[in-house]
Structure 1
Amino acid sequence: MQTTLSERCLWLQTSAEAPVQYPALTNQEEAEVCVVGGGITGLSTALHLAEKGIKVILLEAGDIPTGGSGRNVGLVNAGLWIPPDDIVAALGEEKGERVNTILGGAPAKVFDIIERYAIECDATRTGTLHLGHNTKGCQELARRRDQLQNRGAPVTLIEGEACERMTGTSQIHTALLDKRAGTINPCAYTRGLARAAADLGAILYCQSPVTGIERQEDRWRVLTQNGSVTASRVVMATNAYTEDDWNQVRQHFFTGHYYQLASEPLTGEAADAILPEKQGAWDTRTVLSSIRRDKAGRLILGSLGKGEGKPLAYLTRWADTIQNHYFPELGNVRWEYTWTGKVAFTPDHTLRIFEPAPGILSATGYNGRGITTGTVVGEGFAHYIANEDDSLLPLPLSQPKPIKARPLWSCAYEGGFSLYHAGQCLRVLI
């Protein structure tokens, strides 16, 4: 059994993109656009605005990255969480297919930025694997395969011995391979976006939490404790880490969490057999388990729910249970890192892009698809600001109704996740 598990984020510890100490805002500034939030959405917005020569100032409450942009699984996935036909059913034909098309092409956008700006984020482009853990799960994968192939997506069902070779486990007999996708170190990607934006002239301020926004004639004044930015347009890119009551983004999602554990670097035949082509993977369980390897060969397991505040022995028990189920040949594994990030959920599992007031743009509700969705939303915001054209956004700007009973949604989700994990630890749900 391990004795070295500590609450640290692996991605921050192993990022090849070095941290940069951006200054805090201490005076009164002016820009064409002020971006609030230094995660992937905000930095993608700033980068694409800077590419167009538009003066942009970004304000981040902590460092880059602080929130989920540096703490997620690192899967560069296409589309939304739900299948494309379900997206159409939820949003209607026109909007649904717009989401399917734009987010289906989102991984290519991410990898293009990585290549253009030489971002060192351990990117792989060998796809991702959705793992069918039982008969019902395999049937769901076949349904997704059919819907995606009908839209021209390069997806394939891998079955039998080929599936076992590709996943490294005899517990999975069917997996859906999406060749559009891949993996990254999300912290390194976020830092790389910041570096690229700053190199193009975007001004980044960290340790500068916004305390409010006020209208000044036809412009907006974004306030911090020690300064302000006055701009014609404001982009609220705070997503799951929105905490202030004045920020209307808070009304349009409910908070969830995702935790992960990473092992020590693994070597040997048993380790090399796990995801040998370096795909990221997740299963079809009611409360999913994610599985991937990093550049050093660590095994990284994760699931929905909050790891913070839970005993390390509980988290280790969960990780041991999942590892022994899927990869018993490894024997005892020593876990070194565990960390938690926030997820912005919506009841219909679709994102929201809206304009809470004239000149203010907002997006939230990525439901666990933040790398790709945040990247294309940022590009879409920049295009809209420059051209008054929202066609690059996954959805047109709208005025959605606030989500009711958000704390109850959060409690219900977290309670369900915890019960499910307890069942796994007791080997009732394996």
Structure 2
Amino acid sequence: MIANERPVIADSLWNATANPAPDCPPLVGDVEADLAIVGGGFTGLSAALHAAEAGLRAVVLEAESPGWGASGRNGGQVDPGLYVDPDAVEARFGRDVGTRMVSLMGGAGQLVFDLIARHGIQCDARPVGWIRAAHNAAALQDIRGKVAQWQQRGADLRFLERDELAAMLGTDSYVGGLIDMRGGNLHPLNYTLGLAEAALRAGAGVHGQSRVVSAGRDGAAHVLRTARGSVRAGKVLLCTNGYTDGLAPPLAQEVVPVRSVQVATDPLPPDVAASILPGRQAPSDLRRLLLYFRMDAAGRFIMGGRGGYGDRVTVARMEALRRVSVKMYPQLAPFGWRHAWGGFVAVTPDHYPRLVRMGPGMMAGLGYNGRGVAQATAMGRLMAEWAAGRPEAELDFPVTEPQPIPFHALRRLGVAATVLKYRMLDGLGL
């Protein structure tokens, strides 16, 4: 179970199957560092690891335990690339910056698997490719465009006709798709714990149960205070994503936290497990309220999708995921569903992540729109490069001033209305 979480979203398969966590005690006393990092998820731990390897004294302050938030709860899909297609990225940001953004995030999946190999992280890593599945003709046309754009850039990605996709999925629920061999899947909490252990071995400090209660300046230095200690550092990285609070306003207004939920079966008999996703890819589809699904190492089937803010709506969405799973894979009908959990995805209005300048010596990275395993790992490395002295203009992602979302206080009403609209359009097949 996820500690200190609402029971309806706390029964996580990943927590139930997690490796032993490294020792990350609460911060006690006053510490001097080159770099203080708020948040112990993919972004913060990747930043800490890369900063420590660059010779910086880095300290991570995590309010709960490493991987407590979205990094330890997600579907474990290693999705290469930005949410936005490469042509649109380059059209918006220009050939120079846009090309660097596309390259950075297109290679983010390989970065994840390279880190896992280099540090010996035991997280059931499977670089078997990532599948996008089209549920109708319009989505299939979108898939063809994605394939063409990435192939023009030399990516190992190809189109899948309906029959080939059905053989890969074990269901004929989709009309075609693509496979991107730069991606794959993993156990997300064990990957997070492995990053924490690697950061510790590299010399970083990683402290759980160390919520930052205030952030201030003392001359040129930043001072972050927790209940039992403080960190004084020249630079600060804010890496809290969908769990961003009011520590550094207006950062929380940069993203909209949207709950995603998952359900998982008991381990299936070997013959049933072999009939579903035999290549063990982890697909997601192109519905507006997308579905994402996979098998784990023990032969459990996992289905994920959009949740709700309230407990009653969340329970209903979890039950809907079980129903759609059995519709896609009727062989699941006799078997029980052991786990159900969820967490917040940080969504941005334009579907681009944010690298935000929060003042002298302070940077934030957040807003991965459901692609955090790869994107957050890459963003953490990029932020570590900035902390080590790389100028903003040379970074492979644009740095912006804070851009609060208008009427952010009404975000829950807006999300509920959007979900209702999208559910109707998906139901009509539009």
Q: TM-score band (shorter)?
A: over 0.9
Q: 1:111 to 1:354 in 2, by over 3 A?
A: same
Aligned positions of 1:80-119 closer than 5 A:
80-119=82-121
> Structure 1 6/409 Cα, relative in aligned 2: closer, same or farther at 3 Å?
closer
Shift in Å, 1:237: 0.8
Identity %: 34
| 1:289 has 2:295 as partner | no
Q: Look up the SS of the partner of 2:410 in the other structure.
A: helix
1:230-379 matches, cutoff 5 A: 230-244=232-246, 246-306=248-308, 309-310=311-312, 314-379=316-381
* Match of residue 11 from structure 2: 8
Residue 91 of structure 1 deviates from its aligned partner by 3.3
2:4: which partner in 1? none
1:220 to partner: Cα distance? 0.8
SS in structure 2 at match of 1:379: helix
Deviations 1:362-421 (A, max 9, x none): 111111111111111111112222233347744132224322122334432234336766
Deviations 1:129-154 (A, max 9, x none): 10011111111111111111111111
Name the CA distance, whole Å, in 2 between partners of 1:275 and 1:120: 22
Per-residue CA deviations over 1:147-168 (Å, capped at 9, x if unaligned) read 1111111111111322211111
Aligned mate of 2:212, from 202, 210, 213: 210
SS in 1 for 2:283: strand
Q: Is the 8 A contact 1:240 1:343 kept in 2?
A: yes
1:245 offset after TM fit, Å? Answer: 5.1
Letter in 2 for 1:355: R
Q: Partners in 2 of 1:66 and 1:274 — Cα distance?
A: 29
**2:170 is matched with which residue?**
168
TM-score, normalised to structure 1, is 0.92
Contact 1:256 1:345 in 2 (8 A): yes
Match of 1:412 in 2: 414
Structure 2: which amino acid aligns with 1:319? L
For 1:104 and 1:119, locate their aligned partners in 2 and report how far apart those are by CA, in whole Å.
22
Please show how residues 68-217 of structure 1 align to structure 2 within 5 Å: 68-217=70-219
Amino acid across the alignment from 2:13: L
Aligned equivalent of 1:41: 43
Deviation per CA, 1:21-62: give whole Å up to 9, x if none: 421112111111111111111111110111122111111101
Which secondary structure state, in structure 2, belongs to the residue aligned with residue 103 of structure 1?
A: helix
SS at 1:100 equivalent: helix
Q: CA deviation at 1:7?
A: 4.2
Gaps of 5+ in 1: none
Q: Give 1:389's aligned amino acid.
A: P
Which stretch of structure 1 is more off in the superposition, 160-169 or 125-134? 160-169
CA RMSD of superposed structures (Å): 2.3
Question: How many Å separate the matches in 1 of 2:185 and 2:325?
Answer: 20
Helix, strand or coil for the counterpart of 1:387? coil
Letter in structure 1 aligned against 2:15: L
CA distance in structure 2 between the aligned counterparts of 1:428 and 1:253, rounded to whole angstroms? 29
Q: 1:264 and 1:168, CA in 2 relative to 1: closer, same or farther beyond 3 A?
A: same
**Which residue identity lines up with residue 162 of structure 1 in the other structure?**
E
Separation in 2 of the partners of 1:52 and 1:313?
46
Q: Which amino acid aligns with 1:80?
A: L
Cα distance in 2 for partners of 1:100, 1:306 equals 32
State which drifts further: 322-331 or 121-130: 322-331
| 1:211-264 Cα shifts (integer Å, max 9, x gaps) | 111111111111112211111111111111111254442131121111111111
Q: Say which is worse superposed, 387-396 or 162-171, in terms of deviation.
A: 387-396
The verdict on how the C-alpha distance between 1:221 and 1:320 changes in structure 2, with shifts beyond 3 A counting, is closer
Rounded Cα–Cα distance in structure 2 between residues aligned with 1:394 and 1:187 = 27
Task: Measure, in 2, the Cα distance between the counterparts of 1:407 and 1:195.
Answer: 38
Kept after mapping to 1: 8 A contact 2:9/2:342: no
Alpha-carbon offset, residue 320 of structure 1: 3.1
Q: Could you tell me whether the CA contact under 8 Å between 2:165 and 2:177 is conserved in 1?
A: yes
Task: State how far apart, in whole Å, the 1-side matches of 2:358 and 2:387 are.
Answer: 15
Judged with a 3 Å threshold, the aligned counterparts in structure 2 of structure 1 residues 96 and 189 are, in CA distance, closer, same or farther, namely: same
Given the alignment, which residue of 367, 384, 409 partners 1:382?
384
Deviation, structure 1 residue 268: 4.3
1:77-107 residue CA offsets vs partner (Å, 9 max, x unmatched)? 1111222223234434333222111100111
**8 Å Cα contact 2:109/2:374 also seen in 1:** yes
* Distance in 1 of aligned mates of 2:348 and 2:17: 32
Aligned-partner SS, 2:311: coil
Q: Secondary structure at the match of 1:234?
A: strand
Indicate conservation of the 8 Å contact 1:318/1:421, yes or no: no
